[in-house]
Structure 1
Amino acid sequence: MKIGIICDDYWHPGTTVKQGLEPLGTEGFQFEFIQHASEWTRIWMDGQDAVVLAKSNQISARDKMPWLTDEIQAHFVDYVEQGKGLLVLHSGTVGYREERTFFELIGGVFNMHPEACQVTMSYTDEAMLPIETAKSFSMHDEHYYVEVIDERIHVFLTSTSEHGTQPAGWVREQGKGRVCVLTPGHFLEALKHPDYQAAIAGALKWCSGYHNKV
């Protein structure tokens, strides 16, 4: 499976995303990374079975100007509706509150997070993704608080800490395609947690429709 990854912003270095996701290459994923938003093209995106957005609404770590224009938002919607998959990972929910088309496509965006702490992830519906892992697992991470459009999403994973409980993973379908959002993963150790690696792999397989092909 060819997976395009858009990453790198001021708070979330692309190197962290790369190092966190590259171990999943053993699952059969072929990753292609874009770190500067100017490198994105629709042709590039169409060549991927699924795309991972792990970048807040910044052109790059050095350029904090927004990159997700109305035109690019429309391309993301069309990409999904034509039958492709989109996985929004951690920082991919950040800074998109006012980008209404994209907000509605992914079904939820970042609101805030307290200081990093111990967070427990619990599956509420394991059947949504092809995942073989524990029903819950804990790790040190940022506990993302999100604003979601409840009627547009199906939550399968929650995150709980001393600060409360939040949706941490959800899915939705639009047109012929699929969207999954996973909010954990600020630190490299969190991204590389074995149970979270399983969640990401399952999300990629679901988004790309892989589990329907085998």
Structure 2
Amino acid sequence: MRLSRPLRALVVVDGTDLHHDLLGASSALRDIVLEGGVVADRAVGADRFVDPLPVTAEADVYVLYRSSTHLAPEQQAALSAAVAAGKGLVVLHSSNLFGFEEGGIDADQVAYELVGSRYVSHGDAGSEGTYTVRVRGGHPVTAHMADFVIEDEYYVIECRDDVTVLADRTTPEGGTQPIVYVREHGEGRVVYVALGHDMRAWGSPHFRQVVRQAVLWAGGVGLDAVASWSTRFPLGNGRFIGPDGGAPA
């Protein structure tokens, strides 16, 4: 099934691959976006937002996977302006590493206000484990999804007040931590997904579904279209991921 209008996404990776496989992420994320029927390209580096060549300027949605504590002021300003003007933005995993360089959070304030959160730590439970993600329905990003279990890094994040949380997890201490949230930025839409450290997450059908639906929503695709085909994984195999437990389509 096809979208009624073309939608283009650009997967942008940035930073060092010391802790995250940026090359692997770019390939996996491009495949995930393509599963949703969206045209997808890959790119490296946040400078492209400052000097947007056609592949950047023509994209409807940016899928951002960063592994760096540095985002230059001009890069922050350009990306914020593009989203405010109507671009969609899907921010994954460590892409909210703000406030760790000289100047602290003030130096990253533009990016923090755009994304809506910043990474704080892995928490007391260590860097990774297996845990349940609780899904809140009623939004296109999490439509047709139920609670699921995933093996991935634990993230503790600090969120702004203007985010709407769509999925969370219970911490070992009994608190909650956001996993997926959305916010609006000017004319644009922003989705943050805390998941996605490595192939264990990238291969999860639940992660793949939420990323596909995040791209569609950020790009302005309505819930009726999401209901018709984004629940399929892989696209066209006639099975659904959701409360029905994989019943045939």
Among all aligned residue pairs of Structure 1 and Structure 2, give the percentage whose two residues are the same amino acid: 26
Q: CA shift at 1:73, angstroms? A: 1.1
Q: CA shift at 1:128, angstroms? A: 2.0
Residues 1:15 and 2:27 are matched in the alignment:
no
Q: Is the 8 A contact 1:96 1:102 kept in 2?
A: no
Q: CA shift at 1:80, angstroms? A: 1.0
Q: CA shift at 1:160, angstroms? A: 3.0
> 1:96, 1:28 → 2: CA distance?
36
Structure 2 length-normalised TM:
0.74
Alignment gaps of 5+ in structure 1: 59-65
**For 1:7-64, what per-residue CA distance to the aligned partner results, in whole angstroms no more than 9, with x for missing partners?**
1533112222134321441321222112344555323432111001101336xxxxxx
> 1:190, 1:15 → 2: CA distance?
15
Q: Is the 8 A contact 2:33 2:40 kept in 1?
A: no
> 1:133, 1:162 → 2: CA distance?
28
Of 188, 192, 197 in structure 2, the residue corresponding to residue 177 of structure 1 is 188
**SS across alignment from 2:167:** strand
Bigger radius of gyration: 2
> 2:224, 2:135 → 1: CA distance?
24
Residues 1:71 and 2:74 are matched in the alignment:
yes
Of 130, 143, 160 in structure 2, the residue corresponding to residue 118 of structure 1 is 130
> 1:213, 1:128 → 2: CA distance?
11
**SS across alignment from 1:102:** helix
Q: CA shift at 1:96, angstroms? A: 5.1
Q: Output aligned runs, 1:53-72, within 5 Å.
A: 53-57=64-68, 66=70, 68-72=71-75
Of 191, 194, 200 in structure 1, the residue corresponding to residue 205 of structure 2 is 194
Q: Is the 8 A contact 2:98 2:112 kept in 1?
A: no
> 2:48, 2:84 → 1: CA distance?
23
Q: CA shift at 1:206, angstroms? A: 0.6
Structure 1 length-normalised TM:
0.85
Matched with 2:43 is 34
Distance 1:154 1:130, change over 3 A: closer
Distance 1:69 1:29, change over 3 A: same
Q: Is the 8 A contact 2:151 2:201 kept in 1?
A: yes
RMSD over equivalenced CA pairs, Å: 2.2
> 1:187, 1:14 → 2: CA distance?
9
| Range moving further from structure 2, 135-144 or 32-41 | 32-41
Q: CA shift at 1:131, angstroms? A: 4.1
> 1:94, 1:17 → 2: CA distance?
17
| Range moving further from structure 2, 79-88 or 114-123 | 114-123
> What code does the residue aligned with 2:218 have?
C
Distance 1:135 1:96, change over 3 A: farther
| Range moving further from structure 2, 39-48 or 136-145 | 39-48
